[in-house]
C-alpha cells in the first residue's frame, strides 16, 4: 500500500463507501479463485493461495469474523507452537480521572468494537 498510490487511493475511497467503476473493475481482477464448496475447504484453499503470494500482500475481507477465520487458517500453515500475548489496556490521564477511566476500560473489556478493534489477547506463531 505504501508504494502503490493507486491501491492506497482505492482503500481511501472504500473507507468512505465511494468506489468508482474503475476501482471495482481493478479489485475484480484480484479476486482469489476458489473451487471448493465447503467453507473449511475454501478457507484452506485461500490460505494456500495467499502463501504463494509475496509476503507484503494485503487481503481485504468484509467482516472481522472472516478476517479472524483466515488468520486462524494461516496460523495452521505454520508448523510452530502458538504463543498467546495478552493485551494490557491503559490510559494515560490525570490522577483524579484514573478510577473513572479504569471503570470505563473494565466496562468494555469484552467488546473489541469499543477498544478500536483491539482484542484482549492474540495468538501468534514464529516462522
- DSSP H helices, the chain, are 5-15, 21-28, 39-51, 64-76, 98-107
What single-letter DSSP state applies at residue 20?
-
CA dist., res. 74 & res. 80, Å (int)? 12
Q: CB–CB of 60/46 below 8 Å? A: no
The confidence band for 114, taking pLDDT boundaries of 50, 70 and 90, is low
Candidate from 28-42, 46-60, 80-94, 109-123 with smallest mean pLDDT: 109-123
Give the chain's end-to-end CA distance (angstroms, integer): 23
Contacts 24+ apart (CB under 8 A), 111-116: 112/64, 115/89
| Residue extents of the structural domains in the chain | 1-31, 36-77, 82-127
Q: For 38-76, write each residue's pLDDT tens digit.
A: 988 999 999 999 999 998 888 888 888 899 899 999 999
C-alpha 127/C-alpha 122 separation (Å) is 16
Residue 5 grid coordinates: 498510490
pLDDT at 6 over 70: yes
* pLDDT tier, 113 (very low <50, low <70, confident <90, very high otherwise): low
Q: For 84-105, what is the mean pLDDT?
A: 82
Amino acid at each position: 500500500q505504501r508504494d502503490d498510490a493507486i491501491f492506497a487511493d482505492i482503500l481511501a475511497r472504500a473507507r468512505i463507501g465511494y468506489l468508482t467503476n474503475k476501482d471495482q473493475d481493478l479489485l475484480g481482477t484480484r479476486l482469489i479463485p476458489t473451487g471448493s464448496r465447503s467453507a473449511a475447504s475454501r478457507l484452506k484453499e485461500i490460505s494456500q493461495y495467499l502463501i504463494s503470494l509475496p509476503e507484503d500482500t494485503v487481503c481485504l475481507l468484509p467482516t472481522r469474523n472472516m478476517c479472524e477465520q483466515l488468520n486462524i487458517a494461516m496460523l495452521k500453515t505454520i508448523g510452530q507452537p502458538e504463543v498467546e500475548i495478552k493485551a494490557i489496556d491503559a490510559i494515560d490521564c490525570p490522577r483524579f480521572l484514573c478510577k473513572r477511566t479504569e471503570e470505563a476500560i473494565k466496562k468494555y473489556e469484552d467488546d473489541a468494537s469499543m477498544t478500536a478493534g483491539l482484542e484482549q489477547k492474540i495468538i501468534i506463531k514464529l516462522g
